[in-house]
């Protein structure tokens, strides 16, 4: 007798529970876009190389094209549709709008989700490859343009809006209380 490759899962997306039947091989990206009609999360490369599909799983960024939907069961999934609080945009969304951190907008949802996580990772003291002093007692380094570029390096923008993206992340971080410096923010 053949084993079933399908099942019923419950996904907690943007604070709402959704129960749906899925093939066990369905990616989280496809479940979000095709089954739940949450099309803000974009399918770019479908290989985990561009970051367009970035969502937050329990507050940590994840490439939804590489994450199976069944593996996301029991986790809080936040997509671009869930980062604002009602009509009030998230500070990262505000900064992207104010500083033109987008051009065509295709990568923007993944960029914003990644930026939200970057700011939280930095505030928690997580070092990056650009962090000079990684000792825990040193605390978070200043969130320089170099730090932001390194931390956001998994998100590609084919339009080349990187300068504005770095400025937007720096502004949002400053508004949320991160230790920042404008050194090299251009």
Concatenating the DSSP letter of every residue in 101-164 gives --SS-SSHHHHHHHHHHHHHHHHTT---TT-S---GGG-SPPB-HHHHHHHTTTS--TT--HHH
Do 91-175 and 6-82 fall under one CATH topology? Answer: no
Question: What global pTM score does this model have?
Answer: 0.91
Task: Look at the block and give the residue holding tokens 């709402």.
Answer: 16
Q: Check residue 2 and give its pLDDT.
A: 72
CATH architecture of 91-175: Orthogonal Bundle (1.10)
Q: Check residue 177 and give its pLDDT.
A: 78
Helix, strand, or coil (residue 90)? coil
- Please count the other Cβ atoms lying within 10 Å of the Cβ belonging to residue 185: 17
pLDDT in tens, the chain (186 residues): 778 899 999 999 999 999 999 999 999 999 999 999 999 999 999 999 999 999 999 999 999 999 999 999 999 999 999 999 999 999 999 999 999 999 999 999 999 999 999 999 999 989 999 999 988 888 888 999 999 999 999 999 999 999 999 999 999 999 987 555 554 444
Q: Check residue 179 and give its pLDDT.
A: 53
- Rounded to an integer, what distance in angstroms lies between the CA atom of residue 104 and that of residue 123? 30
Q: Residue 115: what are its φ and ψ, rounded to 5°?
A: -65, -40
CATH 3.10.20.30 for the 6-82 domain, yes or no: yes
- Rounded to an integer, what distance in angstroms lies between the CA atom of residue 142 and that of residue 175? 14
Q: Where are the domains of the chain?
A: 6-82, 91-175
Q: Check residue 183 and give its pLDDT.
A: 47
78 is written with which tokens?
Answer: 């936040």
């Amino acid at each position: 007798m053949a084993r079933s490759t399908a099942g019923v899962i419950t996904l907690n997306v943007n604070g709402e529970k959704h129960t749906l039947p899925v093939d066990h091989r369905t990616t989280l990206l496809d479940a979000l876009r095709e089954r739940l009609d949450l099309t803000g999360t974009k399918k770019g490369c479908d290989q985990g190389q561009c970051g367009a599909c970035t969502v937050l799983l329990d507050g940590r960024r994840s490439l939804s094209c590489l994450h199976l939907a069944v593996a996301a069961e029991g986790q809080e999934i936040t997509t671009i549709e869930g980062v604002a609080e009602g009509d009030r945009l998230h500070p990262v969304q505000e900064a992207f709008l104010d500083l033109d951190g987008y051009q065509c907008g295709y990568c923007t949802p993944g960029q914003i989700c990644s930026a939200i996580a970057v700011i939280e990772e930095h505030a928690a003291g997580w070092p990056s490859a650009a962090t000079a002093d990684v000792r825990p007692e040193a605390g978070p380094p200043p969130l320089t343009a170099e730090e932001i570029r390194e931390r956001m390096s998994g998100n590609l923008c084919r339009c080349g809006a990187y300068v504005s993206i770095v400025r937007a992340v720096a502004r949002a971080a400053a508004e949320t209380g991160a230790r920042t410096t404008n050194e090299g923010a251009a």
